[in-house]
Structure 1
Amino acid sequence: MRSAYETERSWWNRPVIDLHSVTDMVLELEDGPVGIRVYRPEAGASLPALMFLHGGGFVVGSLDSHDRIMRQLCRRSGAVVVGVDYPLSPENPHPAALDRIEQALVALADGADAHGIDPGRLGIGGDSSGAHLALAAALRLRDSRPDVLRFLLLYYGLYGVEESESHRRFTDPAYGLTPDELQFYRSSYLGSEPAPGGKALDLLTSDLAGLPPAFVGAAALDPLLDDSLALSDALRNAGGQADLRVYDGVPHGFLHWSRLVPTAVQALEDGARAVAAGLLRPPS
C-alpha cells in the first residue's frame, strides 16, 4: 500500500517547485527521534512557521508524498513549512503519532532560534488524517502550552462523524475514500485501544473552546465533507473562528492535483493566504 501510494503521488509532485531552501533534519524527542523537512521561502531569522502533517489514513503517506503541497504552501504564504515524518499505524497505533507530534511542536517552539522560526508565530495544519492529528495536537497544546499555537489549517479531515449524508452518498472509489478503506484506517490507528467506540477519533465531542483561528477546507464530493461542516459549526459554537471553504466538483485528496487541477491550486492559495493572515502579523 505504501509503495503504491508513493508511486502514484510521485507524478503529481513534479515539476519540483523551487524555494530558498529545503532541509531534512532530525528532532531528538522524548519518545525517540523524528524526521522533519524544513521548507524556507527566504533567508532570514524569526520567520513564522506552519507545521504540516501529511494525510494517508494514518497508515500511508510521507514527506515525499506531500512535498508539492508543502512547497506550494510555503511559497504562497511566505511562512516556513515544517513537515513531520510521524510514526505510522498499524505498527504505531494511537497515541504514538500524536505523542510524537506534540513533542515536535514543543521542541520547535522551545528551539525556534535554531530553526530560524519565530516561536510567537507558529501554526499547525494537515490534510485528511493529518488534519485530524493537527486538531488533536492543538487540543493537547491548548491545555498544556496555550502560548504555542496561533493558527490551524485543516483540509478535509476526519473529526468524528460516524454516520451522515456525505458518508452515505460518496461511497464509490471515485470519491477517494471507500467505507472499507475508512474502516481499515480507523482500526489501524486505534489498534487495541480500550476506549468504547474509538473515542480517540471523535474530536467533535471535545471541548473546542480556546483554540486558535482555523481555516477549514473541504471537498464537495468527499465522504468526510460533513466532518468539516460539523467541525466548523462546533468551533464557532465554542466561541472560536472558523473560515470554511467547500470546493465544488472535487473528491477527497484533491490537494495533490495542483499540477493540473485549478481547484487544487485555488484551495492551496486560499489556505496559504489564511496562513499569512494568521501568522505573518506580529504577535499581539
Structure 2
Amino acid sequence: MSRFAHFVAIDWSGAAGERHKGIALAQCSAGPGAPTLVRPGHRWSRAEVLHWLRHDLPRDSLVGMDLGQSLPFVDCGAFFPGWAESPPDARALWAMVDAACTDEPHLGVNRFVDASEPARHFRRHGGRCGDRFPPGRGRLRVTERAQEAMGCKPYSNFNLVGAAQVGKSSLSGMRVLHRLAGHLPVWPIDPLPASGSVVCEIYTTIAAMAAGRPPSRSKIRDGAALDTALAALASAPFHHAGPIDDHQSDALITAAWLRTVAAEPRLWHPPGLTPEIAKTEGWTFGAS
C-alpha cells in the first residue's frame, strides 16, 4: 500500500504569456475513484500553479510534473561545458535560471536562454543554434536514454524549437522547483521523505503506455478512449462524452497511473539512478 493519500499530475507549459491552455492539473485519492480536474474550465498561469502547490496541495500528495527537472550533465561532465560558471548541480541550476529571469513576468526564461554563454548551448527560434548544440536531436539526460529504451521518443531540454520542444517548459518549471524550496521536496534531487508530500518528474507517455496506449498514440482526445485507459489503471471512469482536451486527458491518466505505481519500490530505485545523477540530472519517475 502506498504511503501517499493523494496523487496529482500537472501537464505543464513553457509557452509565452500568462495563462495557458496547455496547463492542466488532475488529482485523485487512494482507492478506485475517478481522477478529477483541479478547477475545471480554468486557464492556469504558472504562478497560480506555484501558489496552489505551496498553499492548496492536499497533505501527503505525490505530485508529478510533466517537465524536465534538469539539463544533461553526465554526458559532458557539466551542464554548460567550457563555461567556468556552469552550476555544479540541479539546485544551483534552478537558482541560476531563476536569478537570471527574476524580473521576467509569468515565470518566463527568455533572459536566461538569450544570455551569451547559455545561448551557445540551446537551439532557439529564428534559426539560432548555439555552437555547442550538437548535430541532431541534442544532448539527453541518462533518464531520457532510459525512456528511449522503453520505446519513448524524448527530446533534448536544450531544444527550444518545434511543437515537441520541451526546453522552455522545463526551464520555466525549474523556476517553480526553485521556489518550492522549504515547502516541497523534489525527488530524486531530494531523498524520498518518510512522510509528507513530494514532487517528482513525470513523462505522460509512460503513463499512457501503462494504460495500454502505444507510444506513437499516447494522446487521448475522446472521452470514451479516456475511460478505457482509466479502466486499464483500475480507475473508475471520468464520464466525459465526446472530445476532450489532450492536456486534460494526459493529467487525468497520469494521476491515476501514479496511484497504481506509487508503492512499487523499483520505480523509486531504478537501476540507472546513481547519487551523482540524482543531484545533477534528476530522474523521470517510471523510467527504468
- Name the structure with the higher helix share: 1
- Name the structure with the higher strand share: 1
Larger relative contact order (Cα-Cα within 8 Å, sequence gap ≥ 6): 2
TM range (shorter): under 0.3
